[in-house]
Amino acid sequence: MTLIAANSMGSSLSRLDGRAKVTGTAPYAFEHPVEQPSYLTPIQATIAHGRVTAMDISAAEQLDGVLAVLTVFDAPKLADTSDGEMCILQDDRVQFRGQLIGAVVAETLEIARQAADLVSVDYAEESHDTELCADHPRLYAPEEVNGSFPTDTSDGDADAGLADAAITVDATYRTAIEHNNPMEPHACIVIWDNASGRTQVTIYDSTQGVHAVRDALAPLFGLETDQIRVVAPHVGGGFGSKGAPHAHNVLAILAAQRISGRPVKFAVTRQQMFSLVGYRTPTIQRIRLGASRQGSLCAISHEAFTQTATVKEFAEQAAVPSRTMYAAPNRRTSHRVVALDVPVPYWMRAPGEAPGMYAVEVAMDELAVACDIDPIELRIRNEPDVDPDTGNPWSGRRLVDCLRAGAERFNWAQRNASPRSRRNGDWLVGSGVAAATYPATAMPGNAARIEYQADKQYAVQIGAVDIGTGTWTALTQIAADALGCPTESIDLQIGNTDLPQASVAGGSSGISSWGTAIVAAVRAFRDQHGDTPAPGASVTTEAPDNPDAEKFAMYSFGAHFVEAHVNRDTGEIRVPRMLGVFSVGRAINAGTLRSQLIGGMTMGLSAALHEESVRDPRFGHVVTQDLATYHISAHADVRDIEAIWLDEVDEHANPMGSRGAGEIGIVGAAAAVANAVYHATGIRVRDIPIMADDLLA
């Protein structure tokens, strides 16, 4: 693949959208100016399974300022009801607690909330099941798991390899339900307009992909895609939960259809996010490792058990990383799911890899202890020459370099191998390590448009979305390098379905996919218009397929190092120091890359020590519905955190030589924390988040 020269790329160019954001002039979904807005408040089911038998809306309708009340008995009909999550208000069935069963639209948000409280709902309640267990009688093998990966794989004979191994680890690891909590909750403004005789719908949405929203919602309402326009210039975080529209978008459109002509504004509250917009499924994972006394793996078995919803299947790919991470002649992975009376799980930063690598990397630490081998050396001894899953050569696997560079920077050589061997007053001190991996992908179907304007300015258009990661800045740098001009000469236009097609900001694929499209458009522009184009000269081009994608195994890698302090009397855990060393190809923007990596590491720390959504099985709902009871890592928890990366270019990945870095930072971070806690205390905790009482044995 022909690379572009890096001039602007790699520098820490300040965020081009930074001033607008800090001065409050960058419009987020709920803030776009519209005339005569109305406000929506949803009505949600208060049972986990059953039917709605009656909804008394008379008191709500009599309240001054109420414009419309929607119920399961009178809502507009959808043209396509095949998607169980999106098919709301179409019948009286209740499939989970918190399901949308109605809405009130009013002149103000306060009136809408009051009216929604006045709606009386009667139910015919049925028994429900919301608890995941590894021996659940309704466990099944899905046809495939998230990412279109095969459900099960088998190479060699894992059982025989385990039976013949000199050293074995056989342990079960559990990860908790986690909920995405971006700073900006999910929100949208919808305008349904029939004035021209042909329906036109405008949606200002907080989304990771404007075209994904349009393409998913149009069939539900029997519309052509050109009848829907989606706008999202600025998004306040997503972490995967905004990777596709959810039922709240459908509810807002149904309401806008009912009061055609007036905008409907709907911002999901923090509490409502715990039932409406997806979450990371809890996992139960059994890992079995077999090795020689020298630590060479002879067998890996990884069984993952997760939950899905009765209304729609989502099978998380937790065991997939074990197919590629380490060399072993005998490998087996499997996934089993159970459909429960719960909301649909969905993407959360590094779905599959984050919980899956937690289990694998803690198991590797247990194997290192069993073999009496340094955990870094154990990983190095099990480095595969080629991708164990496909047999393809790596486009660049520098995990060993990450481990060694991190060990030197972290002063790993001074570590005493024995657990519970170091103290600082009342605190037990330990250190842990874990490896990380994440696939380097690019999505198909992306296109970009280049137009030369007066005064040596170029308009660069693509329907990409910046969810706070720095897309405005990184794509400007890529375009400037490809065109050979200063970044000031680039007028980047993104976040609108009026612009050329772009994939979702997800799977760490955004910059790779969109940047490739921009480079392709620049090359086509030069071919057609030369180096001295006339004002108005333009070209629109789709990104070509990468011929190396099928020839090479493309992954990013990393190594996490953590120091943990555990109070010997209370079990309190503190993490004063974290280091991540990563191999992610060329850095597009050093500043935003560092932000992405330390952000992921912070989420890994949060998963290890704090994050857990608690579902009450008696009533079926999550009881930790705010940021006071759903704990996340705060400033006081994040102390000395450092992220660095290797100086490299991946010539096979894309024309920029980069690989995605949005998710690699979270992968393995929780395992490094757990391994450091074990080293400090000598107590092996296999379930996260780790609680103080886990360490008081």
| Banded model confidence at residue 454, pLDDT cuts 50, 70, 90 | confident
Characterize the bridge pairing of strands 447-453 and 457-461: antiparallel
Name the E strands within 7-150: 38-44, 50-56, 66-71, 93-94, 100-106, 120-125, 144-145, 149-150
- For 56, other C-beta atoms within 10 Å of its C-beta total 12
Sign for the pseudo-dihedral over CA of 238, 240, 243, 246: negative
- For 384, other C-beta atoms within 10 Å of its C-beta total 17
Within a 13 Å sphere around the CA of 362, how many CA atoms are in the beta-carbon half?
31
Cα angle 291, 293, 297 (rounded to 5 degrees) comes to: 20
Please spell the DSSP secondary structure of 279-299, one letter per residue: -BPPEEEEEEEEE-TT--EEE
Q: Please say whether the beta carbons of 516 and 37 come within 8 A.
A: no
The two tokens of residue 318 are 């937790």
What percentage of residues in the chain have a pLDDT greater than 90?
Answer: 97
pLDDT tens digits, 527-585: 999 989 999 999 999 999 999 999 999 999 999 999 999 999 999 999 999 999 999 99
Angle between helix 471-483 and 510-529 (nearest 10): 30
Catalytic residues: 663
Q: Please say whether the beta carbons of 368 and 378 come within 8 A.
A: yes
- For 116, other C-beta atoms within 10 Å of its C-beta total 21
* Burial state string for 520-551 with b = 16 or more CB within 10 A and e = fewer than 16: bbbbbbbeeeeeebeeebbbbbbbeebebbee
The confidence score (pLDDT) of residue 447 equals: 98
pLDDT score of 697 more than 80:
no
Q: What is the assigned CATH class of domain 38-127+183-237+243-274?
A: alpha beta
The two tokens of residue 139 are 């466990």
Distance CA 697, CA 691 (A): 12
- Note the CATH architecture for domain 17-28+443-542: 2-Layer Sandwich (3.30)
Q: Please say whether the beta carbons of 353 and 280 come within 8 A.
A: no
- Rg of the chain (C-alpha set): 26
The confidence score (pLDDT) of residue 531 equals: 87
For residues 249 and 8, the model is more confident at 249
| Banded model confidence at residue 129, pLDDT cuts 50, 70, 90 | very high
pLDDT tens digits, 586-625: 999 999 999 999 999 999 999 999 999 999 999 999 999 9
What mean pLDDT value characterizes the chain?
Answer: 97
| Banded model confidence at residue 237, pLDDT cuts 50, 70, 90 | very high
Give me the torsion for CA of 386, 387, 392, 397, rounded to 10°. -70
Mean pLDDT calculated for residue range 71-78 = 97
pLDDT tens digits, 179-229: 999 999 999 999 999 988 999 999 999 999 999 999 999 999 999 999 999
The confidence score (pLDDT) of residue 253 equals: 98
- The dihedral region occupied by 24, where left means phi > 0, alpha psi between -120 and 50, and beta the remainder, is left
- Sheet containing 167-175, strands listed edge to edge, beginning at the edge strand earlier in sequence: 153-155, 330-340, 297-309, 283-291, 167-175, 687-688
Has domain 144-178+279-440+551-695 been given CATH number 3.30.365.10? yes
The owner of tokens 């009505």 is: 43
pLDDT tens digits, 146-191: 999 999 999 999 999 999 999 999 999 999 999 999 999 999 999 9
- For 627, other C-beta atoms within 10 Å of its C-beta total 11
* Burial state string for 58-92 with b = 16 or more CB within 10 A and e = fewer than 16: eebeeeeebbbbbbbeebeebeeeebebbbbbeeb
Give me the torsion for CA of 239, 244, 247, 248, rounded to 10°. 60
How far, in Å, are 62, 124, 239, 654 from residue 660 at the CA level?
54, 49, 14, 11
pLDDT score of 122 more than 80:
yes
Domain ranges of the chain: 17-28+443-542, 38-127+183-237+243-274, 144-178+279-440+551-695
Query: Could you give phi then psi for residue 238, rounded to 5 degrees?
Result: -155, -45
Q: Which amino acid is at 167?
A: I
pLDDT tens digits, 504-530: 999 999 999 999 999 999 999 999 999
Distance CA 275, CA 523 (A): 46
Distance CA 423, CA 680 (A): 8
How far, in Å, are 320, 324, 474, 534, 584 from residue 555 at the CA level?
13, 10, 21, 42, 8
DSSP label at 467?
A: S
Q: Please say whether the beta carbons of 622 and 180 come within 8 A.
A: no
Distance CA 100, CA 340 (A): 17
Q: Do domains 17-28+443-542 and 144-178+279-440+551-695 have the same CATH topology?
A: yes
